[in-house]
Chains A and B, each alone.
Chain A
């Protein structure tokens, strides 16, 4: 299990999510695990609790997971997904209040340097107004 914080990107658009993950990988490298998900359960624009749960599972490790979201429903659905995790995982998955692309790059940079979950979130949230 990785000792570094994992990153999950949740956008209404699968393309935005994938593009953001691509940017993170190019700028930060492959040593931080990044999972991207987007689109509603029917494949349209939106978010999907099941996909969010799968993405968290994909990158989950003891160091925790930082989630970047775009608009309202992405945040609500991510909160719902976090509540549906096993009890001991719930405290180790946090939503960063930050712009999705910039926040993901900043969070992944901090994570690749071995930052804790709190540090990763704080670094991403430095971008918030």
Chain B
């Protein structure tokens, strides 16, 4: 069961990133250096290559190994950012997470690692515009109606993504553009929203 969950999460996350790689690159060409899709596809391709080995591990160990693959293979800032997210989540997750609270405690560690790595806070037009509201919604949720929770988390991820459009970037390459970064979605927020959807879809099918 756990192995099946792990394999499904890997498959869906890899598919979400590779299928949207061109879109991520297009978003990044508008306000960054235009490599987000290529880099993420390479990183998640490395995860896919280790897919069978990862799926044989408990979820917490698989997350740490997948995070390390991103760190070593992405080649841009998103490698350490997403790598730290997954590695810190993996370290905090019990071998057999039993509740939404277990998962949200792990996500909290992951999001804290992203903030520390990027020296960033919400409001700076980054992946945190998606991750922080999703985390807060998980922490506020009693976990009694998981289908509704998953539906809500997807919607919150989408709202968070959309909230980056009017923002002016103050972190990363996009900050060089100043006011010209306004009016574009943040590519990192887009990839984060894709991953939230992928994870929520997989979990929903298993409820």
A residues in contact (CB < 8 Å) with B: 39-42, 44-50, 71-73, 75-77, 79-80
Interface centre among A44, A49, A73, A75 (most CB of B within 10 A): A73
Known contacts A40-B39, A76-B81: A46-B73 contact under CB 8 Å: no
Of residues 30 through 64 on chain B, the ones whose CB sits less than 8 Å from some CB of chain A are: 33, 35, 38-39, 42
Docked complex Cα distance between A45 and B39 (Å): 10
Q: Is the CB of B75 within 8 A of A76?
A: no
Q: Is the CB of A72 within 8 A of B117?
A: no
Q: Which of B42, B78, B80, B84 contacts A42 (CB 8 A)?
A: B42
Docked complex Cα distance between A50 and B80 (Å): 12
List B contacts of A77 (CB < 8 A): 75-77, 79-80
Q: Is the CB of B81 within 8 A of A41?
A: no
Interface size bracket, B side: 20 to 34
Q: Is the CB of B172 within 8 A of A72?
A: yes
Q: Is the CB of A46 within 8 A of B71?
A: no
Docked complex Cα distance between A76 and B119 (Å): 10
Docked complex Cα distance between A41 and B46 (Å): 11
Q: Is the CB of B75 within 8 A of A79?
A: no
Docked complex Cα distance between A49 and B83 (Å): 12
Q: Is the CB of A72 within 8 A of B173?
A: yes
Docked complex Cα distance between A31 and B38 (Å): 40
Asked whether B72 is an interface residue with its Cβ less than 8 Å from the other chain, the reply is yes
Closest beta carbon of chain A to B91's beta carbon, Å: 13
Closest beta carbon of chain B to A79's beta carbon, Å: 7
Q: Is the CB of B42 within 8 A of A73?
A: no
Asked whether B94 is an interface residue with its Cβ less than 8 Å from the other chain, the reply is no
List A contacts of B172 (CB < 8 A): 72
List B contacts of A48 (CB < 8 A): 72, 75
List B contacts of A75 (CB < 8 A): 77
Q: Is the CB of A72 within 8 A of B73?
A: no
Interface centre among A39, A44, A45, A80 (most CB of B within 10 A): A80
Closest beta carbon of chain A to B10's beta carbon, Å: 20
Q: Is the CB of B71 within 8 A of A73?
A: no
Q: Which of B71, B78, B83, B173 contacts A71 (CB 8 A)?
A: B173
Known contacts A45-B35, A46-B39: A79-B117 contact under CB 8 Å: yes
Interface centre among A44, A76, A79 (most CB of B within 10 A): A76
Known contacts A42-B42, A80-B71: A73-B83 contact under CB 8 Å: no
CB-based nearest B residue for A77:
B80
Of residues 169 through 190 on chain B, the ones whose CB sits less than 8 Å from some CB of chain A are: 172-173
